[in-house]
Amino acid sequence: MADAPVDTATSVPVAVVGAGPAGLMLAHRLGRVGVETIVLDTRTRHEIETTQRAGILEADVARDLVETGVSDRILREGHEHEGTEIRFGGRAHRIHFKALVGESVWLYPQTDVFIDLADARDRDGGTVHFGVEDTEVLDVTTAAPRVRYTAADGSRHEIRARYVVGADGSRSMCRNLIPEDRRVRYGKEYPFAWFGIMAEAPRSAPELVYAHSDHGFALISQRTETVQRMYFQCDPDESVDAWSDDRIWETLQARVAGEDGFRLAEGPVLEKAVLRFRSFVQEPMRWGSMVLAGDAAHTVPPTGARGLNLALHDVKVLADVLLRALGDGGEAALDDYQPQALQRIWRAQNFSHWLTELLHTPPGASPFDRRRRLGELDNVVGTRAGRTYLSEQYTGWPVSAQG
Ligand SMILES: Cc1cc2nc3c(=O)[nH]c(=O)nc-3n(C[C@H](O)[C@H](O)[C@H](O)COP(=O)(O)OP(=O)(O)OC[C@H]3O[C@@H](n4cnc5c(N)ncnc54)[C@H](O)[C@@H]3O)c2cc1C
């Protein structure tokens, strides 16, 4: 396949595998400084637009979407959250991010981030091919890597690039191009997953509600005035078919119940899925002329709402590094990417792991484990230091505050 004839061969400075937030934002940032890209994705635009994923953006990331000219729609249709609620022991505790650390987060679904980025590429004349097949990345250890693919109409194409970016998500094939004996994979599996639903119902709360209970974890999030997103802890092998709407609502209500009489507004369940997750980092994030970004290099459990934010931070660093590498800096400029990106990645790994362990109850937890966890929750919400730590971590770290 590597040398079979193709219908077209096109040369660009940077080829990007994956049109998720990392791939499209990188293409947008490079496009603004005159660097042409071609982005490929195996999924159709419609498929990506309709897959529910992240919902919380750091204020810094929201500002970047506006200030780099992607779109200011987030300011009109997004919701700024100045805090969040943590419920446990039947009581609610508000963590006021803005008062504690002067920052907030934005509720703005990943589907909208994607639509804004894809529209920006269209508007700016960027090239994105959706619905491709048979992506092959070749010659990454040379200065002339290539990407080959089959377009949606069955024709075969080759992109000749100076650099290739693997932004192909948590099942990345690009990261497998780094030989086994030259890469390290750090990771952790969890003995639980999330049962995620979209429901037609009014909002139950103005901000996200994270609930820890004897029955397990739940997260109450929002989408629109009439559609809400919620999750509860389940077994990784749980079958969605075993869950009627009634059973789902009973489970969620039990997990958020408290002495304040809080109840979720119920309605028909529109979508349901079991979402497995893990903690994962692959190093190195660069191999020859290929660089990894976003979920291709690292994934976090969704509890800390870091994944999308991290992906967008990676490409902020990477766009600058690639620009230098394509200019006077040469390939050596790429050496700056991993150390800068990794510091935030490991901070986010730690926070996501900590918050996941804090809020979930693992199967078989001993009475001691359960009581100790309540003690830790008390320490977090009951001390200014605890609330400040949670707020600082949840709202993200400014690029200037890496130290
Ligand atoms: C339930 C859930 C809730 C989440 N909540 C949050 C949250 O609140 N906040 C947050 O920050 N993050 C959250 N995340 C994580 C976030 O969704 C991801 O971290 C984010 O999508 C990473 O972006 P990416 O561009 O790196 O990867 P992706 O969005 O996965 O994009 C990768 C793209 O590459 C394409 N691709 C794969 N293989 C190939 C190939 N061979 N050729 C061409 N294209 C290919 C895929 O089709 C995909 O479109 C959540 C995730 C889940 C699952």
Q: What is the CATH number of the domain that holds 203?
A: 3.30.9.10
| CB of 42 shorter than 6 A to ligand 1 | yes
Tell whether 114 and 221 lie within a shared domain.
no
- Of 40, 108, 110, the one to substitute when testing ligand 1's pocket (max ligand atoms within 8 A of C-beta) is 110
CA atoms of 265 and 40, how far apart (whole Å): 41
Cα of 296 to ligand 1 centre, how many Å? Answer: 9
| CB of 6 shorter than 6 A to ligand 1 | no
Whether residue 70 is contained in a domain is answered as no
Q: How buried is 55 (Cβ within 10 angstroms: 0-12 exposed, 13-18 middle, 19+ buried)?
A: buried
| Contact status, residue 378 vs residue 386, Cβ threshold 8 Å | no
Tell whether 202 and 168 lie within a shared domain.
no
Q: Which of 297, 230, 335, 304 is nearest to 20 (CA)?
A: 297
Whether residue 41 is contained in a domain is answered as yes
Whether residue 65 is contained in a domain is answered as no
Cα of 340 to ligand 1 centre, how many Å? Answer: 21
| Contact status, residue 118 vs residue 19, Cβ threshold 8 Å | yes
Point out the domain boundary residue: 275, 290, 319.
Answer: 275
| CB of 55 shorter than 6 A to ligand 1 | yes
- Nearest Cα residue to atom 49 of ligand 1: 20
Tell whether 124 and 244 lie within a shared domain.
no
Specify the number of domains making up the chain: 2
Tell whether 179 and 215 lie within a shared domain.
no
CA atoms of 49 and 43, how far apart (whole Å): 10
Tell whether 293 and 316 lie within a shared domain.
yes
Q: How many CB atoms lie within 10 A of CB 235?
A: 12
| Contact status, residue 172 vs residue 239, Cβ threshold 8 Å | no
Tell whether 287 and 341 lie within a shared domain.
yes
At residue 290, the pLDDT reads: 98
Q: In this structure, is the dihedral angle defined by the CA atoms of residues 395, 399, 401 and 403, taken in order, positive or negative?
A: positive
Tell whether 227 and 266 lie within a shared domain.
yes
- Nearest Cα residue to atom 39 of ligand 1: 168
Cα of 295 to ligand 1 centre, how many Å? Answer: 6
DSSP state of 266: P
Tell whether 115 and 251 lie within a shared domain.
no
Cα of 250 to ligand 1 centre, how many Å? Answer: 30
| CB of 22 shorter than 6 A to ligand 1 | yes
Q: What is the CATH number of the domain that holds 287?
A: 3.50.50.60
Whether residue 230 is contained in a domain is answered as yes
- Nearest Cα residue to atom 2 of ligand 1: 53
| CB of 295 shorter than 6 A to ligand 1 | yes
Whether residue 384 is contained in a domain is answered as no
| Contact status, residue 69 vs residue 32, Cβ threshold 8 Å | yes
The pTM of the full predicted model, rounded to 2 decimals, is 0.96
| Contact status, residue 20 vs residue 308, Cβ threshold 8 Å | no
- In order along its 403 residues, the chain shows pLDDT tens digits of 678 899 999 999 999 999 999 999 999 999 999 999 999 999 999 999 999 888 999 999 999 999 999 999 999 999 999 999 999 999 999 999 999 999 999 999 999 999 999 999 999 999 999 999 999 999 999 999 999 999 999 999 999 999 999 999 999 999 999 999 999 999 999 999 999 999 999 999 999 999 999 889 999 999 999 999 999 999 999 999 999 999 999 999 999 999 999 999 999 999 999 999 999 999 999 999 999 999 999 999 999 999 999 999 999 999 999 999 999 999 999 999 999 999 999 999 999 999 999 999 999 999 999 999 999 999 999 999 999 999 999 999 866 544 3
- Of 26, 41, 176, the one to substitute when testing ligand 1's pocket (max ligand atoms within 8 A of C-beta) is 41
Cα of 170 to ligand 1 centre, how many Å? Answer: 7
Whether residue 299 is contained in a domain is answered as yes
- Nearest Cα residue to atom 52 of ligand 1: 53
Whether residue 37 is contained in a domain is answered as yes
Two tokens at 248? Answer: 């789902």
Going from the C-alpha of 331 to that of each of 44, 138, 228, 291, the distances in angstroms are 33, 18, 46, 11
Give the domain range for residue 310.
8-55+109-189+278-360
- For tokens 């899925």, the residue is 273
| CB of 110 shorter than 6 A to ligand 1 | yes
| CB of 164 shorter than 6 A to ligand 1 | no
- Nearest Cα residue to atom 35 of ligand 1: 18
Whether residue 365 is contained in a domain is answered as no
Point out the domain boundary residue: 228, 257, 275.
Answer: 275
Tell whether 179 and 146 lie within a shared domain.
yes
Tell whether 198 and 292 lie within a shared domain.
no
Cα of 29 to ligand 1 centre, how many Å? Answer: 19
Cα of 138 to ligand 1 centre, how many Å? Answer: 23
Tell whether 325 and 219 lie within a shared domain.
no
CA atoms of 349 and 307, how far apart (whole Å): 10
| CB of 311 shorter than 6 A to ligand 1 | yes
Going from the C-alpha of 148 to that of each of 133, 161, 326, 391, the distances in angstroms are 9, 11, 22, 45
Cα of 159 to ligand 1 centre, how many Å? Answer: 23
Specify the long-range contacts of residues 352-355, CB closer than 8 Å, at least 24 apart.
352/279, 352/300, 352/301, 352/302, 352/303, 352/304, 352/306, 353/188, 353/279, 353/300, 353/301, 355/303, 355/304, 355/390, 355/393
Point out the domain boundary residue: 275, 306, 335.
Answer: 275
With H, G, I as helix, E, B as strand and everything else as coil, classify residue 150.
strand
| CB of 213 shorter than 6 A to ligand 1 | no
- Of 112, 168, 175, 349, the one to substitute when testing ligand 1's pocket (max ligand atoms within 8 A of C-beta) is 168
| CB of 229 shorter than 6 A to ligand 1 | no
- For tokens 């990784």, the residue is 236
Cα of 169 to ligand 1 centre, how many Å? Answer: 5
User: Which ligand 1 atom is the nearest neighbour of the CA of 43?
Assistant: 47
At residue 399, the pLDDT reads: 61
Tell whether 180 and 219 lie within a shared domain.
no
- Nearest Cα residue to atom 1 of ligand 1: 53
